[in-house]
Amino acid sequence: MTPAASLSSASSAFGALLVLAVIVPLCGLVPMLLCAPRRVEQVALLLLGLGGLIVGAIAVRVAATGAALDDVIGGWAPPLGMALRADGLSVVMLVMTAVVVVATGLFARTDRAAPTSAMPPAFWMLLMGLWSALNLVFVAQDLFSLYVALELLTFAAVPLVCLDGSRKTLDAALRYLLFALFGSVLYLLATALLYGAYGTLDLPQLAQHVRASGTPEPALVLALALMSVGMAAKAALFPLHLWLPPAHAGAPAAASALLSALVIKAPIYLLVRIWCDLAGPPLAAAGAPLLAIMGAGAVWLCGVMALRQGRLKLLIAYSTAAQIGYLFLMFPLAGIAGAAPWETIAWTGGALQLVSHAFSKAAMFMAAGLIAEALGHDRIADFGGLGRILPVSVFAFGLGGLSLMGLPPSGGFVAKVMLLTAAVQQERWWIAGVILAGGLLAGGYVLRVVVPALFRTGGAVAVAQVSPRRQGVALGLALVAVVLGFVPLQPIGFLAIGRAALIGSAP
Amino acid sequence: MSGSFSLSVFGLAGAGLVAIGLFGLIVQGAAFRKILAFNLLGGGIFLLMGVIARRGAAAGFGGDPVPQALVITGIVVAFSATALAVALLLRLQDAGEQNSAAVDDRDRAARQGDA
Amino acid sequence: MSGALDAGIAALLLGVAFRVLLARDPLGAVIGFVALGLVIALAWVRLAAVDVALTEAAIGGGVTGLVMVRAAARLPKREGARQTADRGTNWIAAGLCVLVFIGLSAVVLGLPEPAPTLAPEAAAHLPGTGLGNPVTAVLLVYRALDTLLEVVVLLLALIAIWSLSADASWRGAPPPPGPRQPTEALVFLARVLPPVGVLVAIYLFWAGADVPGGAFQGGAVLAAMGLLVLLAGLCAPPRIGDRGLRLLVLAGPVVFLAVGMLGWAVAGAFLGYPEGAAKPVIIAVEAALTLSIAVMLALLVLGPPAGARQP
Amino acid sequence: MSGASGVLSLLLPAAPALPCLLALLCVAPKVRRWAPAMMALAPVPALLAALLVPQGISPLSAPAPLRITLTLDAPGALLLGTSAVLWMAAGAYAAVYLRDDPARPRFAIWWLLTMGGSFGVFIVADLSSFYLAFALASLSAYGLVAHDDTPEARRAGALYLGLTLFGEALLIAGFVMLAAGSPDGNPLIADAVAGLAVSPWRDAIVALLVAGFGLKMGFVPLHVWMPIAHGVAPVPGSAVLSGIVVKAGVIGLIRFLPMDGMLSAWGAAITTMGIVTAYYGIAIGLTQSHPKRVLAYSTVSQMGVVGAVIGAGLWSGDAAAPVIAAFYAANHILLKGAMFLAVGIAAASGARCLWLVLAVSAVLGLSLAGLPLTGGALAKIAIKGPLGEGMAGSLLALSAAGTTMLMARFVIRLQASADGSSHRFPPLALGAPWLALCGGALVVPFVLFQPVTGASLASAFSAGSLWKGLWPVALGLVATTALAWRGPRLREIPAGDVLLLAERLAPAVSALSEGVGRLDEGLRRWPVAGLLVLALIVAFATALEATR
């Protein structure tokens, strides 16, 4: 079996930007490990700017040319070598990551007024590792590189959970690590099987092989099952969400924002690649209902659990578990006969849901951290009068919540309308029902926080000052989620850039 | 003939190791034993990759060098994961023995160290 | 004959794995685990993958085993003892694992014939690299980015472990790994073995270009020698804030990254090597990697630096 | 001309934009001090737009990426103008009424947001902006409902929010189904509705929309929140809630139901629902003791009438029904607003001037009931057009007798609620806006009658019309007297009536929630999650294997 000619066998101009996006944060680790601990933060902030510029350049380049950016490492084309590639969807992920990472960096900066609240140097190094790993997940085309990227991501994310070193967070971190490793090895096993069956690890080439051969190999079937479950475990998709609530709720605010907004999106992005690129339409159609059922379970059960929480951070954590459920409703909706997934409105809706959840959730975790800092606790029952103490934080939380509830104007609203439209057009009423019910539950748990904060009197007493800058960062992210509500209610062409070329002619 | 037999034997052994590791990872209560089980599971997967590499013997090589190289990388990654998990476990052990005041002390020390 | 040998190895392998699974106390499980590493290394030799066998023996069994032994020694017995779920869970789990075993075996045994392979392609480009060992060529030429990332994984795991330290400024040293009163045998070994080990490591690294061996194997042997010295208490673990130590840790990643970026200048691609002069560059990278890997492996085994208040 | 209309057309976007903008500016503490003054002035562009902008102007589309298209038609202009009048009067009233309330700025912000949403809902022409404006008006109104942080207000607020979110879910489902067939993601409402007849989900869409808008208007049995919410809000808040916010449902029915005779079965159903609601509101309202709750049930009843008019238009395909329904609703805006404000005036009045307040309230009430020579009578005459003389028309005419009784009940309870011992006069700043509004409520229908119905004002004063208006009111007054003289004492039905039945479900709901909690706890145990991993692998592999 000769491998089909790969479309990504040559680097495109400016392809080196992809490598830079991955290695620049890593290069930052070198000065960070050699300089004095108090300088680490400054180095990190510098690198945040540099990395942001690189991602911006990638976005501009892809938008200007309307074509994906390719880079072949060392000039060794797949299958022997490995390639990086940024298509429309990856660019959106890269930009989302850059915005949230930079915002988190600004949020976590040491306050001159309150130097005791500084994050330890480890935080900044882990942030760099995390960013590099995320960028790699979004541009790598090689299944094994993706495995390494996922592990890198896990190693950066897990210690963020237990930066405070308390027994509770250490316990949460260990549980997170072990379950994430469980997911990773399943993915690795799948990678091995795919190599054994097709002799390449390059996703586009694998996709072409799968489409070229008639009946799928048994190895492909098992690999898809292993990868799906492995990634679901890493994404904390219901019913495999055991590790998420304690880990995301226990971490410091800046870390929670990263974990909830970005880290779980990496396995979800891979699931999209696996099912939309690799599997091929017949298998994708068979697997999609299962994914959607898990997503529906997440929306329902984790939504109710969020409603039941007494602590704000746990509420937000459960809300994350609920919100990612929506993303899995996308799979059956994007698989329409006669259209490539990326041409459907569900594809755009799913991507938009992913991105707007990232911004709104990061804003909400930051706001929750500030609230906990100001009040010394995060018991929702004692939030009466909070709106007067921390108006900006409550506003940021509410704006973020707007997106979760799917109310206009917000990215969440547009995403919900698109997914609903797809469900209606295909007459998948149960999916429409899940989306609507999820919106009600989200409304319930968001308002459970906002209403006492704004309308109850008494209760909340500020024990500490919070920095206006941090509040501003949270508000800025929430506003980004709102501004996303202005994208047109149609499939967005940018998200389809470079995808048709990826797997050859559309089915 | 015997080559194909050996491949089957090692394939079964790899699959068996995977199953044993999975079983251990699920039913073992102690984190320490879960970490061991994770390594069994990883070992089984690597062995399967070895079988796949051996199947691809060609061009005068005893096996396909690509999966062999992947296994080397995989072993190092698995070791890193194990080391991190064990460090977390031991840290958890220490934290459990300390009382909460000690944890507060630790926080203060952390802040002073940073300032 | 060889078939019987392989069947024996496979049976032994599964038997030892069951022993690891079922051992009552943690130390027994760990001893089983180290033994399993050796058996797997044997299997790798039988699978004509000596590079992997060396890595498995040095890292998979050896250094990992050391980590687990230290953990087993420090954990209270009950924390490492076998505690299993209730009977129902056990049976369901066993049933599902058997299902997975059957499915996986069927898939692996039914992989398509002829097996797809990249060996011919790897061989075709081998002369251009100046290397003789195809595995090294894959690791450092064809898929060099993976290897770079793998070193970064080690580095990040090290940062992750250090971040667990109570010593947030990362100045102190990890606690000594060995027993308080090392046995004479241990001390003797620690005095005699390292010179030999260092030679073996250098050989592994140097030979890795053409015959089995390489940076990871060499680094692991070096790390083992260093740990042996520390175990015997012949010297104290280094302070992790030490500038020299940090430089050693970073040498590999920095050289690798620098060579990668030079690739843009000399070959027009990241991690591209200059035409005709690939081998010396690769050897240089491997030298730096061997050192860094050795230091990082050892530091990963030693764990986070003790907090200021801890002895 | 076109230049002038160009400038005038800027008034249209200004109508909803100004209140929203002012509310946003109130984030700054310096601006927030002026918030109470803004309440009365923010509606000015809306009033000017209703008066000056030519109706039927071509839709104004905001530049991309904003997805807003505005237009002004007769029903929209009627509701926009009259609601602007009520917003101004109630705003001036509220600034005084709440002057000692430390939370007054907060009230003003929610007030402005509700105002912006309610103006928007009357003039937007595209689907997603309608949803935005509807949601803005509905959700911001929570700030008016729950302003007083009392246990009743919390309960009312929670109920209001819950049902509002539920209504939003119904509407978004309906809207998405409506737009699903259109090539544009956000079609104009008119275009989307034009495709309704051929939609495969026609009946489902209409059901969702009627339920969503009916919830806002208080169709039985979706009215439960209304008496509770309108009862607990501060007086000016109740006035705009009952007067204006419910009209978002009216304009919704008007905009989304095609009056082309294609949906006659639905028309019959909605008419029936409206008539039932009209009588139900009266029946329960008569048992109420608090004047605000009496008024709230009257609103339920009146919205039933409006619903019946729209239903009748749908039934017979009467293209004039929307504007007539809007006329009736506009009349209700002013009257109901003025009557709610009277509750606050009465409470501030001593015995000396209470009679004046009661007299004016009585006139307002009689106008609502359609006493000849009042503005309300004109509204009653107007709705005869779509309703015709059939059973529906007769039943609604008879309901005016009930309305008379209800209004009498209101005046009686108003007197009882007043502080009769003192000799206080309400402050002029409180009384002036109220009196102005009362004047407007009585006069405005006369101005609007001819343009709306096309009939001359003189026809409304014919003997036949006078008699048709008079007998129900007379009947109602007789019945009230009889009831007062020798009637059974009516046991007060707790506000929210059927809701109490629903509260029986509370234990079941909490048991369900507990069950989910236990399920989650179980799923989050390691061995269980581990087993699920394996089970899911097997499930995926089986599902995929089946396709091979």
Q: Model confidence over A368-394: pLDDT tens digits?
A: 999 999 998 889 988 988 888 888 999
Angle (nearest 5°) at CA A120 between A119 and A121: 115
Set of chain D residues whose Cβ sits within 8 Å of the Cβ of C89: 527-528, 531
Q: Position of tokens 């939609």?
A: D199
What span, in angstroms and rounded, lies between the C-alpha atoms of D158 and D83? Answer: 26
**pLDDT, tens digit, for every residue of A141-150?**
999 999 999 9
Which residue among B35, B77, B103 sits closest to A151, beta carbon to beta carbon? B77
Going by the DSSP 8-state scheme, the letter that residue D171 receives in this structure is H
Set of chain A residues whose Cβ sits within 8 Å of the Cβ of C110: 218-219
Compute the average pLDDT of residues A412-419. Answer: 93
Between positions 131 and 160 of D, the ones with CB within 8 A of A are 131-132, 135, 139, 142-143, 146-147, 149, 157
3-state helix, strand, coil in chain C (%, to 5): 70, 0, 30
Give the pLDDT of residue D214.
94
Give the pLDDT of residue D3.
54
Give the pLDDT of residue D6.
65
User: What is the DSSP code string of chain B?
Assistant: -HHHHHHHHHHHHHHHHHHHHHHHHHHB-SHHHHHHHHHHHHHHHHHHHHHHHHHT--TT-SS-HHHHHHHHHHHHHHHHHHHHHHHHHHHHHHHHHS-HHHHHHHHHHHHHHH-
Mean per-residue pLDDT of chain C: 89
Q: Residues of B near D (CB-CB distance < 8 A)?
A: 22, 25-27
- Asked if the C-beta of A162 comes within 8 angstroms of chain C's C-beta atoms, the answer is yes
The pTM for the full model equals: 0.93
pLDDT classification of A9: cutoffs 50, 70, 90: low
What span, in angstroms and rounded, lies between the C-alpha atoms of A491 and D332? Answer: 44
Set of chain B residues whose Cβ sits within 8 Å of the Cβ of D534: 22, 26
Neighbours of chain A (3+ CB pairs under 8 A): B, C, D
Distance from CA of D532 to the nearest CA of C (A): 10
Distance from CA of A81 to the nearest CA of C (A): 5
Angle, nearest 10°, between helix axes D321-347 and D247-256?
A: 180
Whether the pLDDT of residue A336 is over 90: the answer is no
Whether the pLDDT of residue B104 is over 60: the answer is no
Q: Inter-chain contact A456–D149, Cβ cutoff 8 Å?
A: yes
Give the pLDDT of residue A503.
63
Give the pLDDT of residue A30.
93
Nearest chain C residue (CA) to B42: C60
| ipTM reported for the complex, 2 dp | 0.93
One-letter identity of residue C71: A
- Of D501, D505, D485, D484, the closest CA to residue D493 belongs to D501
What span, in angstroms and rounded, lies between the C-alpha atoms of A239 and A233? Answer: 9
What span, in angstroms and rounded, lies between the C-alpha atoms of A129 and A498? Answer: 28
**pLDDT, tens digit, for every residue of A67-87?**
999 999 988 988 999 999 999
pLDDT classification of B2: cutoffs 50, 70, 90: very low
Distance from CA of B20 to the nearest CA of D (A): 13
**pLDDT, tens digit, for every residue of A231-247?**
999 999 999 999 999 99
Task: Kindly give the confidence (pLDDT) of every residue in chain D, 548 residues in length, as a single tens digit, with 9 standing for 90 and above.
Answer: 445 566 777 888 999 999 999 998 887 788 888 888 888 899 999 999 999 888 777 778 877 777 788 988 899 999 999 999 999 999 999 999 988 888 888 899 999 999 999 999 999 999 989 999 999 999 999 999 988 888 888 888 888 999 999 999 999 999 999 988 777 778 888 888 888 888 899 999 999 999 999 999 988 888 888 888 888 899 999 999 999 999 999 999 999 998 887 888 999 999 999 999 999 999 999 988 889 999 999 999 999 999 999 999 998 888 889 999 999 999 999 999 999 999 999 888 887 788 889 999 999 999 999 988 888 999 998 988 888 778 888 888 899 999 999 999 999 999 888 766 677 788 888 889 999 999 999 999 999 988 888 888 888 888 888 888 889 999 999 998 888 877 666 677 776 556 666 677 888 888 999 999 999 999 999 999 999 999 999 999 999 998 87
Whether the pLDDT of residue A256 is over 90: the answer is yes
Q: CA neighbours within 13 Å on the CB side: how many for D200? A: 7
Mutation site for A-interface testing, chosen from C141, C159, C246, C250 by largest number of A Cβ within 10 Å:
C159
**pLDDT, tens digit, for every residue of A291-332?**
999 999 999 999 999 999 999 999 999 999 999 999 999 999
**pLDDT, tens digit, for every residue of D88-120?**
999 999 999 988 888 888 899 999 999 999 999
- Asked if the C-beta of B15 comes within 8 angstroms of chain C's C-beta atoms, the answer is yes
- Asked if the C-beta of C156 comes within 8 angstroms of chain A's C-beta atoms, the answer is yes
What span, in angstroms and rounded, lies between the C-alpha atoms of C311 and C120? Answer: 57
Angle, nearest 10°, between helix axes B65-97 and C119-129?
A: 90
Helix (H, G, I), strand (E, B) or coil at A487: coil
Residue B111 class from Cβ within 10 Å (0-12 exposed, 13-18 middle, 19+ buried)?
Answer: middle
Give the pLDDT of residue D495.
61
Nearest chain D residue (CA) to B30: D526
Distance from CA of D543 to the nearest CA of B (A): 21
Nearest chain D residue (CA) to A489: D185
Token pair in block for residue A57 = 């350049």
**Residue D3, number of CB atoms within 10 A of its CB:** 7
Rounded to a whole number of angstroms, the distance between the first and last alpha carbons of chain A is: 21
Token pair in block for residue C118 = 């990249």
Give the pLDDT of residue D158.
87
One-letter identity of residue A266: A
Neighbours of chain C (3+ CB pairs under 8 A): A, B, D
Whether the pLDDT of residue C46 is over 50: the answer is yes
Token pair in block for residue A332 = 């059956």
Set of chain B residues whose Cβ sits within 8 Å of the Cβ of A80: 66
**pLDDT, tens digit, for every residue of A189-198?**
999 999 999 9
Give the pLDDT of residue A454.
87
Compute the average pLDDT of residues B35-47. Answer: 95
Q: Inter-chain contact B73–A148, Cβ cutoff 8 Å?
A: yes
User: Is the model more confident about D422 or about A340?
Assistant: A340
Whether the pLDDT of residue A3 is over 50: the answer is no
Distance from CA of B82 to the nearest CA of C (A): 7
Give the pLDDT of residue C2.
80
Angle, nearest 10°, between helix axes D2-9 and D11-25?
A: 30
Mutation site for A-interface testing, chosen from B77, B90, B94, B105 by largest number of A Cβ within 10 Å:
B77
Whether the pLDDT of residue C225 is over 50: the answer is yes
Q: Inter-chain contact B52–A192, Cβ cutoff 8 Å?
A: yes
- Asked if the C-beta of A122 comes within 8 angstroms of chain B's C-beta atoms, the answer is no
Give the pLDDT of residue B108.
39
Q: Which helix (H) or strand (E) holds A83?
A: strand A83-86
Give the pLDDT of residue A12.
80
Mutation site for D-interface testing, chosen from A178, A184, A229 by largest number of D Cβ within 10 Å:
A229
Set of chain C residues whose Cβ sits within 8 Å of the Cβ of A40: none
Nearest chain A residue (CA) to D170: A436
- Highest-confidence segment of A91-100, A421-430, C115-124, C280-289: A91-100
pLDDT classification of A506: cutoffs 50, 70, 90: very low
- Are C161 and B84 in contact, with CB atoms under 8 Å apart? yes
pLDDT classification of C311: cutoffs 50, 70, 90: very low
Q: Inter-chain contact A34–C250, Cβ cutoff 8 Å?
A: yes
Compute the average pLDDT of residues C145-162. Answer: 95
Give the pLDDT of residue B47.
95
Give the pLDDT of residue B107.
40
Neighbours of chain D (3+ CB pairs under 8 A): A, B, C
Give one word for C145, left, alpha or beta, with left for phi > 0 and alpha for psi -120 to 50. alpha
Distances (CA, A) of A299 to A304, A464, C311: 8, 36, 49
Give one word for A14, left, alpha or beta, with left for phi > 0 and alpha for psi -120 to 50. left
Compute the average pLDDT of residues A18-47. Answer: 93
Residue D32 class from Cβ within 10 Å (0-12 exposed, 13-18 middle, 19+ buried)?
Answer: middle
Whether the pLDDT of residue A457 is over 90: the answer is no
Nearest chain B residue (CA) to D529: B26
Mean per-residue pLDDT of chain A: 90
What span, in angstroms and rounded, lies between the C-alpha atoms of D513 and A305? Answer: 8
Q: Inter-chain contact B25–D530, Cβ cutoff 8 Å?
A: yes
How many residue contacts between A and D have a Cβ separation below 8 Å? 159
Set of chain B residues whose Cβ sits within 8 Å of the Cβ of D526: 26
Residue A53's contacts (CB-CB under 8 Å, 6 or more residues apart) are none
Give the pLDDT of residue C268.
86
Residue A116's contacts (CB-CB under 8 Å, 6 or more residues apart) are B111, B115
- Are B110 and C307 in contact, with CB atoms under 8 Å apart? no
